[in-house]
Amino acid sequence: MPKRLRLTRRFPVALTNDAYRRLHAFAAEAGLSVDEALSFLFEHFGSVTDSDNLTHRLRLFRAELEDRKR
């Protein structure tokens, strides 16, 4: 029997416009709601990300973060 999907944790989140559009596009492509898409991504984070690419992208994001906040 599959594990029940209970969306019990709620939190306000702020996204860039690009992240918001990409999240909604991913959810639509996958046939999921935005909540379901986020749950899927974080429940399966290790298997849907490449650790080397993630580390590289995170380093780039952090390097430009202060400039993006202005």
User: The domain containing residue 59 runs over which residues?
Assistant: 17-69
In a domain, 43, yes or no: yes
Farthest CA pair distance, the chain: 49
The single residue listed with the structure tokens 């029940």 is 4
Q: Comparing 4-8, 43-47, 52-56, which segment has the lowest mean pLDDT?
A: 4-8
Number of domains in the chain: 1
In a domain, 8, yes or no: no
In a domain, 26, yes or no: yes
In a domain, 3, yes or no: no
In a domain, 5, yes or no: no
Specify the pTM.
0.81
pLDDT the model gives residue 6? 86
In a domain, 21, yes or no: yes
Instruction: Summarize pLDDT for 24-42 with one digit per residue, the tens.
Output: 999 999 999 999 999 999 9
In a domain, 12, yes or no: no
